[in-house]
Amino acid sequence: MDVWLIVIIAICVAAFIVFVVQRVVLAHRRRISAGREELVGRTAEVDITLEPKGMVLVEGERWTAISEKGRVAKGEEVIINKVDGLKLYVTKKEKGGN
């Protein structure tokens, strides 16, 4: 009976190790989706009105943003044109475009 207990525990441990290794491999293969260099050209939602400075949300992350062309109200979408440090330079997304 002790042999079966050891076998069952060994199978459970092996299954857990396979699961963890599989998740690690998948995480390393996944492409970074919110790196600074990936942001240019993407769409963000205004979280704090841009007058011209405010905050935007990009995939759930808050960024300081500066509107290059006038005021943009909360909830509107903007296009990211440039990244300078931790600031995004954006323009309002035209309705029906982009």
pLDDT band at 94 (very low <50, low <70, confident <90, very high): confident
- Render pLDDT for 18-42 as a digit per residue (tens, 0 to 9): 999 999 998 888 765 556 667 888 8
| Residue 96 pLDDT | 64
DSSP per-residue string spanning the chain: -HHHHHHHHHHHHHHHHHHHHHHHHHHHHSPPSS-HHHHTT-EEEEEE-BSSEEEEEETTEEEEEEESSS-B-TT-EEEEEEEETTEEEEEEPPTT--
Computed over every residue of the chain, the mean pLDDT equals 87
- Render pLDDT for 49-92 as a digit per residue (tens, 0 to 9): 999 899 999 888 899 999 998 899 999 999 999 888 889 999 99
Domain ranges of the chain: 36-92
Of 33 and 13, the structure prediction assigns the larger pLDDT to 13
Could you please state the CATH topology (level 3) that the domain comprising 36-92 is classified under. Answer: OB fold (Dihydrolipoamide Acetyltransferase, E2P) (2.40.50)
| Residue 28 pLDDT | 83
In terms of pTM, does the model score above 0.85? no
Q: What is the mean pLDDT of residues 3-20?
A: 95
